[in-house]
Amino acid sequence: MTSLIIFGLLISLMLTGMPISIALGLTVLSFMFTLTDVRTESVALKLFTGIENFEIMAIPFFILAGNFLTHGGVARRMINFATSMVGHWYGGLGLAGVMACALFAAVSGSSPATVIAIGSIMMPAMVKQGFPKRFGAGVITTSGALGILIPPSIVMVIYCVATGGSIALDPAGHRVSSASVGQMFIAGVIPGLMLATLLGFTTFYRAWRNDYPRLPKASWAERVTAFRKCMWGLLLILIVLGGIYTGMFTPTEAAAVSAVYAFVIAVFVYRDMSLKDVPKVLLGSANMSAMLLYIITNAVLFSFLMTYENIPQQIATWITSVGVDWIVFLLIVNLLLLIAGNVMEPSSIILIMAPILFPVAIKLGIDPIHFGILMTVNMEVGLCHPPVGLNLYVASGIAKMGITELTVAVWPWLLTMLIFLGVVTYVPEISLWLPRLLGMI
C-alpha cells in the first residue's frame, strides 16, 4: 500500500506536466510530512549529505569538457579522420558518421552533445553527397547514443551515485557495494565498440542494398595527416581511461583534468574558439549541471524515502518468494525501463529506478557492473524513440525533419539496438570480461 501511494502520487504529479525533479521532491515531502514521523531535520540533513559526494563533481566537469570539445573544432577533425578511413566503403559518409560518433563519445560523455557536434557537420555533407535525408538522420540519431555507453559517460556516473547508498544483499546474505565509476567506465568499452560495429554494419548493409554514394579512397598520406590533426582530441581518451586505470587519478579528478585539457586544445592548440567565447561555454555548462544536480538532489530524497520504508528489500523478498529468477527479472527490467523511456529522460530514470531495482538485482545474484551496463543500454534506446527521445529532438532540429518522419527513419538502427540490448542482457561477460581481465573485479 505504501508503494502504491508513493508511486501513484509521483505519477499523478508527472502527468500534470510538472518537471520530474519537482514532482520527486513534492512526492517525498508530502508523504513524509503526512504519513510518517520523520523529523524535518533528518530531511534537511539528507538533502545536504546526499549530494556531498565526491563522484558527483565529475558530472559538471565532464559536461564542461564536452562543451569545449563541441565548440572547439574537435568534432570536425574526427569526422575528417573517420571519412579518410571508411569513406570509400558503401555508405561511406554514413559509416564515417558512426565512427566519428564513437570517437567523439569517447571524449564527451554526452549523447545530445555527440549528435550536435557530429550531426551538424555530417548531415549537410551527406545530403550534398546524394544520401537521402532519412538515412543520414537515422545514422546520426542512433550513433549519437553511443555518447552514454562509451566511456567517459555521465549516465554511468549518475548510476554509481544513485546506487552508492543502497543496502543490497546477495543470495548468501552478504552485503554488496555498488560498482565504482572506474569499473563502469572500463566495462563500457567492449559493449560500446560492439554496438558501434553493429550500427556500422546496419549502415553498410542499407547503403549496399540501395547503392548509395561512395567517396574516393583516401591515400595513406591523407589518413596520416587527418589522424595527426585529430590526435590532440583523441589523446583525451588516453588521459581519462589511462589515468583512471593506472591509478594516477580518480574518475572525478580525470573529469577535472579532461575539462582543463579540452579548454587548452580548443583555445590554444586548435584555436577554433577564442577567449571571448569561453564565458558562453561556461554558462551553458553551468545551466546543464545545475539542472542535473537539482534532479539528483530530489532523487536523493526519493531514495531516502525508499530506504526508510524498506521498499526495495520488500520487493526483493516478494520477487524471490514467487520464484522469479534472474532471467525473467531482467526481462521485466528491460520492459520497465523501455516504458519509462517513453516519458522520462535518462538521468531521471536512473535516479528513480536504480535505487529500487539494484537491491533486487543483487538479491538474484546479478553483478552490479552488468546491471549498470544493462541500464545504460536501455537509456540509449530511450534516447532514440518518441515521445521524449532527446536525440530525436536534437536531430530533428539539425535535419529539419518532423519527429514522426524521424521516428520512421531511425527504425532499422533502433531495431539493431534492441537486438544488442537482448544480447548484452543475457551475456554478462560482454560487460564483465574487460574489468575482470584488468583485475578490477
Task: Count Cβ neighbours within 10 Å for each residue of 314-342 and write b for 16 or more, e otherwise.
Answer: ebbeebeeeeeebeebbeebbeebeebbe
User: 263 with 281: CB under 8 angstroms?
Assistant: no
d(CA 79, CA 93): 9
Per-residue confidence (pLDDT) for residue 126, from 0 to 100: 85
Domain boundaries, the chain: 19-437
Residue 334, all three cell numbers: 528491460
Question: Does an H or E element contain 252, and which?
Answer: helix 251-264
Residue 207, all three cell numbers: 547503403
Residue type, 97: G
Per-residue confidence (pLDDT) for residue 425, from 0 to 100: 94
d(CA 191, CA 204): 20
User: 256 with 62: CB under 8 angstroms?
Assistant: no
Residue 182, all three cell numbers: 572506474
- Strand segments, DSSP code E, in 2-83 are none
Determine if the peptide bond prior to 435 is cis (ω within 30°): no
Residue 154, all three cell numbers: 555521465
Q: In whole angstroms, what separates CA 221 from the centre of its chain?
A: 35
d(CA 215, CA 237): 28
Per-residue confidence (pLDDT) for residue 190, from 0 to 100: 94
Provide the 10 A C-beta neighbour count for residue 353: 18
CA nearest 223: which of 319, 88, 47?
A: 88
User: 284 with 291: CB under 8 angstroms?
Assistant: no
Provide the 10 A C-beta neighbour count for residue 34: 8
User: 105 with 114: CB under 8 angstroms?
Assistant: yes
CA nearest 379: which of 110, 36, 21?
A: 110
Alpha-carbon distances of 225 from 80, 103, 267, rounded to whole Å: 10, 17, 21
User: 96 with 86: CB under 8 angstroms?
Assistant: yes
pLDDT tens string, the chain, 441 residues long: the values are: 666 777 788 778 877 877 777 887 788 778 777 777 777 777 777 677 666 677 788 888 888 888 888 776 788 888 888 888 888 888 888 899 899 888 888 887 778 888 888 888 888 888 888 888 888 888 988 988 888 888 888 889 889 888 876 777 788 878 888 888 889 999 999 999 999 999 999 999 998 988 888 888 888 899 999 898 888 888 888 888 788 878 788 888 888 998 899 899 888 888 888 888 889 989 988 888 888 787 777 777 777 777 777 777 677 777 777 778 889 999 989 988 888 887 777 888 888 888 888 888 998 889 999 999 999 999 888 888 776 677 887 888 888 888 788 888 889 999 999 999 999 999 999 999 999 998 887
